[in-house]
Amino acid sequence: MDRNLLLTKLAGAITDVRLPHPTRVAIDGVDGVGKTTLADELADFVRRAGRHVIRASIDGFHNPRQRRYARGPDSAEGYFLDSFDYEALGRALLMPLGPGGDRIYRVAMFDHRADVTVESEAQRASNDAVLLFDGVFLLRAELVPHWDLSIWVDAPFDVTVERAVRRDSSEEEREELRWMYERRYVPGQRMYLERCRPIQRADLVVKNANVEDPGLEVRKEGGSNV
């Protein structure tokens, strides 16, 4: 499928969702699959449809380093269970934009690079705004009720690991980062896939192994208009 056609279809599925509160869209997938790129591309298409876009990422809701690595720096279970502060995510962003929320939201509560708590500027959303939220582990049971539409971005680990390594490291650092993916990140993602079954929970699945020729699969009723 042509990528512009994919983005047109996804944007149409998003803007077809009509609720009395902002539409909260999860863009989930493993590390390196292309979630952030897809979300950024989608933002332009949704804006062209006349909807205000709120862009945010799970990266703004990390736990402190001490908690993230409490089980060890190469712990897969630690990556899956301890990386993110879901209570802060709900309190600052997802619940304010949901049914009965006051529409006052923040897009980040923690800077994981500096390892410090932050509070992004509070903003007010319009009722027809669209939240495009990308990240890993978004279709965990405790988060699923907060999404009005969910997209799983899919590609095999041999593709995603190489993308992530090239993106996040210099040539000299690549072998060390590959080792971390083999020990911590990929096993942690496998735990997520096995325990939470995000592909089955998603409304739409984007096949993104070839970014120039992606595929699209409708999984649930929320994506039936593509």
Tens digits of residue pLDDT in 125-180: 999 999 999 999 999 999 999 999 999 999 999 999 999 999 988 888 899 999 99
Phi, psi of 11 (to 5 degrees): -60, -35
Domain ranges, residue 174: 3-218
Specify whether the CB–CB gap between 181 and 165 falls below 8 A. yes
Rounded to two decimals, the pTM is: 0.95
Residue 179, domain member (yes or no): yes
CATH of the domain at 210: 3.40.50.300
Residue 149, domain member (yes or no): yes
Residue 79, domain member (yes or no): yes
**pLDDT on residue 171:** 83
Specify whether the CB–CB gap between 20 and 127 falls below 8 A. yes
In the chain, at which residue ranges do the beta strands (DSSP E only) sit?
23-28, 53-57, 104-105, 110-111, 116-117, 123-124, 130-135, 149-154, 204-207, 215-218
What residues contact 140, with CB distance under 8 A and at least 6 apart?
A: 86, 192, 196
Residue 225, domain member (yes or no): no
Report the amino acid identity of residue 38. Answer: L
Residue 94, domain member (yes or no): yes
Question: pLDDT by residue (tens digit) across 166-215?
Answer: 998 888 889 999 999 999 999 999 999 999 999 999 999 999 999 999 99
State how many domains the chain has.
1
